[in-house]
């Protein structure tokens, strides 16, 4: 096979993801009486820090690990090279013509993660493995199959590498179905995780088995963002998404390293830090199931693919405008599904409308985001936000220079059970199919 990757096959029997929400809502009884957040400082908030660029004096640096002798790649730490500069084009973009090139077969892949200055991609398997892949090897860097289980929308759902420390974070459901974010020390050369270093950062009780969110990512500000669904079932039954006392239906933002005896710290500019009874971790609200989100590397804008109820899927965008994107914004659920009024008992004012919506008339049912292409090897793809739908398998591009009143959207391809579109460190885009493949976008022809 030509291209940067050999074709790797590390697949067993694939585990069906289901519709990640949408019309396949699970209405089974709650696992507990109420949703609650764990590891939140309530009596006294830890002394906030202003920036994640410089570690506080009382945060112990991560211990460097001796490279794992059994790991055969890479042979040196990633170079601290300058990230390629990107810019946001203006005006209508050229229409892209692309194809999907399978680079490997995996066991129920669900997303990919990247490590700063590491050319490999890290394939997230829902069953609990994270696999580093390049054109020479496919190496399992961590296996948590003893901690989680792929079932419906549950399993290992997200992974993120720290930009400054030899640390990584996993977002998964434990055996009771609750959301857990764990920290690991990683080998500075191979990125193999040290199982003995596992530290729980936070746990959030999940009252239903669906709408767990799953994405975690470090933002341009160096903080960790965590996407959580509204708790599940259907219709936001606990009215969690607009409830500031609940972490459900939110985007959370924390400094994840332990300090002052606490498992994480609250950034000083989190919007609800001083609001009585509000969860101080909350960054954005009004989300149903933010299955995938990403930051535009050129602008810092935050893009969220939020799974709809029975009728409308939506893409939300929060502009950076000189500061961290999404601060204190509400994206409307469950007062609205898309731009349609939904739960009348939820306030109708103060919400940010989606930039793109689509209905279920053509077999679509569950949006899977999504990344803005920048510095890709396909010049005409630059500036397009690429996303797909789990049920129909259709993949689209949205011209980010077009407005919500006249969006320019083009068809880019088909992929069964598409769960994620994500960018590699080098700017290449990848599409993940839960049916078993990871695919790279290449120029057509």
pLDDT given for residue 8 in this prediction: 61
Q: What is the mean pLDDT of residues 28-47?
A: 33
Q: Does residue 430 or residue 19 have the better pLDDT?
A: 430
pLDDT digits (tens, 9 = 90+) for 194-244: 999 999 999 999 999 999 999 999 999 999 999 999 999 999 999 999 999
Q: What is the pLDDT of residue 46?
A: 32
Give the model confidence (pLDDT) of 250-275 as tens digits: 999 999 999 999 999 999 999 999 99
**What was the pLDDT predicted at 21?**
42
Q: Confidence class of residue 87 from pLDDT cuts 50, 70 and 90? A: low
pLDDT for 13: 34
Predicted model pTM? 0.84
Q: Is the pLDDT of residue 181 over 60?
A: yes
Nearest to 213 by CA among 197, 202, 198, 200: 202
The pLDDT of residue 12 is 43
pLDDT given at position 79: 53
> Is residue 42's pLDDT more than 80?
no
- pLDDT (mean) for 385-403: 96
Q: List pLDDT tens digits, range 320-369.
A: 998 999 999 999 999 999 999 999 999 999 999 999 999 999 999 999 99
Pairing of strands 121-125, 129-133: antiparallel
Query: Which of these ranges, 33-42, 71-80, 298-307, has the smallest mean pLDDT?
Result: 33-42
Strand, coil or helix: 197 = helix
The DSSP-derived string for 380-438 is GGTTEEEEEETTT-EEEEEETTS-TTS--EEEEEE-TTEEEEEE-TTS-EEEEETTSEE
- For the residues 140-155, what does the mean pLDDT come to? 96
pLDDT tens, position by position, 371-384: 999 999 999 999 99
The DSSP result for 2-66, as a single string, is -SSS--EEE--S------SSGGG---PPPSSSS--B-S---SSPPPP-S-SSS--TTSPPPPPPP
The domains of the chain are located at 1-80+106-361
pLDDT of 136 reads 86
What gap in Å lies between CA 184 and CA 32, rounded to an integer? 29
Least confident of 8-12, 90-94, 104-108: 8-12
| pLDDT (tens digit per residue) in 407-429 | 999 999 999 999 999 999 999 99
What are the pLDDT digits (tens) for 226-240? 999 999 999 999 999
- Helix H, strand E, coil C: the string for 339-354 is CEECCCCCCCCCCCCC
At residue 188, the pLDDT reads 96
Closest to 122 (Cα-Cα) out of 444, 386, 420: 420
CATH for the stretch 1-80+106-361:
2.120.10.30
Average pLDDT, rounded, for the chain: 85
Residue 331 · residue 317 · CB < 8 Å = no
- Residue 19 is predicted with a pLDDT of 38
Question: Under a CB-based contact definition with an 8 Å cutoff, are residues 11 and 106 in contact?
Answer: yes
Q: Is the pLDDT of residue 394 over 70?
A: yes
Q: Tell me, what's the pLDDT at 363?
A: 95
The confidence score (pLDDT) of residue 76 equals: 52
Q: Please say if the pLDDT value at position 105 is more than 70.
A: yes
């Amino acid at each position: 096979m030509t291209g940067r990757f050999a074709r790797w096959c590390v697949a067993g029997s694939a585990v069906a993801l289901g519709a990640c929400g949408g019309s396949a809502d699970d209405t089974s009884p709650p696992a507990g009486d109420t949703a609650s957040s764990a590891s939140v400082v309530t009596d006294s908030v830890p002394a906030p820090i202003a920036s994640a660029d410089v570690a506080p004096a009382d945060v112990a640096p991560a211990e460097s690990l001796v490279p794992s002798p059994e790991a055969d790649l890479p042979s040196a730490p990633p170079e601290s090279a300058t990230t390629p500069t990107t810019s946001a084009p203006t005006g209508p973009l050229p229409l892209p013509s692309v194809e999907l090139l399978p680079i490997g077969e995996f066991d129920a892949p669900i997303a990919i993660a990247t490590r700063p200055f590491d050319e490999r991609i890290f394939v997230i398997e829902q069953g609990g493995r994270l696999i580093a892949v390049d054109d020479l090897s496919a190496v399992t860097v961590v296996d948590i199959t003893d901690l989680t289980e792929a079932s419906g929308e549950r399993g290992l759902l997200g992974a993120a590498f720290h930009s400054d420390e030899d640390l990584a974070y996993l977002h998964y459901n434990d055996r009771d179905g609750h959301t857990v974010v764990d920290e690991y020390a990683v080998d500075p050369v191979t990125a193999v995780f040290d199982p003995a270093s596992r530290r729980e950062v936070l746990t959030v009780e999940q009252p239903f088995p669906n709408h767990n969110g799953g994405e975690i990512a470090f933002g341009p500000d160096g903080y960790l963002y965590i996407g959580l669904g509204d708790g599940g079932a259907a219709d936001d039954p606990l009215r969690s998404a607009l409830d500031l006392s609940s972490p459900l239906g939110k985007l959370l933002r924390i400094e994840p390293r332990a300090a002052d005896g606490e498992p994480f710290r609250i950034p000083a500019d989190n919007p609800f830090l001083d609001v009585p009874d509000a969860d101080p971790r909350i960054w954005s609200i009004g989300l149903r199931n933010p299955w995938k989100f990403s930051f535009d590397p050129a602008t810092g804008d935050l893009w969220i693919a939020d799974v709809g109820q029975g009728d409308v899927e939506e893409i939300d965008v929060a502009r950076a405008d000189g500061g961290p994107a999404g601060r204190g914004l509400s994206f409307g659920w469950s007062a609205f599904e898309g731009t349609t009024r939904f739960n009348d008992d939820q306030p109708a004012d103060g919400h940010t409308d989606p930039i793109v919506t689509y209905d279920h008339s053509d077999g679509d049912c569950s949006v899977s985001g999504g990344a803005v292409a920048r510095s890709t090897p396909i010049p005409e793809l630059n500036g397009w936000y690429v996303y797909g739908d789990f049920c129909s398998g259709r993949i689209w591009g949205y011209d980010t220079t077009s407005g919500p009143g006249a969006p320019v959207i083009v068809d880019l391809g088909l992929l069964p059970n598409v769960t994620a579109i994500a960018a590699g460190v080098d700017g290449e885009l990848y599409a993940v199919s839960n049916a078993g493949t990871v695919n790279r976008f290449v120029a057509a022809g």
